[in-house]
Amino acid sequence: MDETFCAGDIITYRLNTDNYGIARILHVEELALHNHYHLAILDAVLSDQDGVDSYGVHAASEENAEAAGEAPVFIDHIALMPEAFAESGPVLLDSRPVEDDELDGYGLWLDATRENLIRTGMIRQYEEELEDDAMFDQVDEDQPVEDETDAGDEETESESVADDSGGELPEIERKPWHSGVYSRPLAGVMFDAEFRMEFVKPEMKDAAVARFINSFFDESNMDTINEMVQSLIDGDYGAGQELVAFGDVAAAALGNQLQGAIPEQLADDILNILCDMGTMRAYELIATFFMNHSGPLADDLGLPAARGFCYAVMLTGGTPEPLHRHLDRLDDILYPELSHDVASARDAVANAAAMFGS
């Protein structure tokens, strides 16, 4: 990614092969090793005909793309690693200064990040990296610190801020996108099961982006899904990757292909795609396939089954329940060519345990 982006930029990002979304950069967090990009997702979906060409480049003469930059906010904050931001295919659409009232979601992210860093004992190191960050200071001052002595016993996922007159502004509910820094591009993150659970709620389901994403999980898409599965079987891995956007409906279709004797390469491809889906249904299929083809009676599919299980554990630290209950079977993976995969999976498990205190 050669172009430099900064706070205030309005960009297009790729949603899938034919469609693009609009995002606004709220803040670029400059850390020692890399930057974090903090974005707001606007409620707009563009096609190639709506002002971006097949590469996602904005066509300034198209009114649709210009109007999309004025769309209301759909997700008020999401943080991306630099690789994830670059892989999202950002293209500059417009730029204007970020206003203070656009930073509420970023403030919730800061709160969630601090809570996690305090819990893991890393708060001092992180604050040293951010001590020169003017945005951090500004948002921190705008968010009042709750007096723990007055806090009730009941936990809540919502937070409220006080206005200058002493009253309270409407509560802002903490959502999945208010914590963590995502290492996958927006095209992957936006289709996450955790996000989709929010997109079907009454307050979000009628938004343009929610309608677009939710449409992929309708059973009426089975013909399209089956065509993509067949293309994958015929050797088109790219078609298989497009199945990721269809979530559990596509996972079930792929799971059907894992029955019986199949070529090792196809098993590898299906398991990789299920890992990329990142849903509990996908992890269940991966774990089941691993258990069916491992142990003393391991067959010709034992190698791809073990490789797929290791990959899923590497990505998740083994925290999803379908994977977690079989972590002890890592010790049974004795393929010499998977020694590095097993070691990496064990490291991921150890890191997850350290992070979450389990």
Residues 125 and 239 both lie in one domain? no
Residues 169 and 245 both lie in one domain? no
269-317 per-position pLDDT tens digit: 999 999 988 888 899 999 999 999 987 656 889 999 999 999 999 998 9
Residue 257 burial (C-beta neighbours within 10 Å; 0-12, 13-18, 19+): middle
**pLDDT band for position 254 (cuts 50, 70, 90):** very high
Task: Find the DSSP H helices in 78-178.
Answer: 82-87, 104-120, 123-130, 134-142
Residue with the two structure tokens 């142990």: 295
The count of other CB atoms within 10 Å of the CB of residue 321 is 11
The count of other CB atoms within 10 Å of the CB of residue 326 is 18
84-113 per-position pLDDT tens digit: 999 999 999 889 999 999 999 999 999 888
Q: Which is higher by pLDDT, 48 or 155?
A: 48
Residues 87 and 180 both lie in one domain? yes
Residues 187 and 47 both lie in one domain? yes
Examine residue 154 and state whether it is found in any structural domain, yes or no.
no
Residues 256 and 140 both lie in one domain? no
Examine residue 336 and state whether it is found in any structural domain, yes or no.
yes
Residues 237 and 281 both lie in one domain? yes
Examine residue 301 and state whether it is found in any structural domain, yes or no.
yes
CA 23 to each of CA 7, 8, 248: distance values in angstroms, whole numbers, following the listed order:
11, 10, 27
Q: Which is higher by pLDDT, 254 or 47?
A: 254
Element housing 11 (H / E): strand 9-14
Q: Indicate whether 358 pLDDT > 80.
A: no
Residues 62 and 86 both lie in one domain? yes
187-201 per-position pLDDT tens digit: 888 888 788 889 989
**pLDDT band for position 5 (cuts 50, 70, 90):** very high
Examine residue 152 and state whether it is found in any structural domain, yes or no.
no
Residues 285 and 196 both lie in one domain? no
Residues 185 and 305 both lie in one domain? no
Going by C-alpha positions, the residue among 251, 317, 313, 316 that lies closest to residue 285 is: 251
- pTM assigned to the model: 0.54
- Mean pLDDT value across residues 163-172: 46
Domain limits for position 276: 218-356
Residue type, 143: Q
Q: Which is higher by pLDDT, 174 or 153?
A: 174
Residues 11 and 127 both lie in one domain? yes
Residues 223 and 335 both lie in one domain? yes
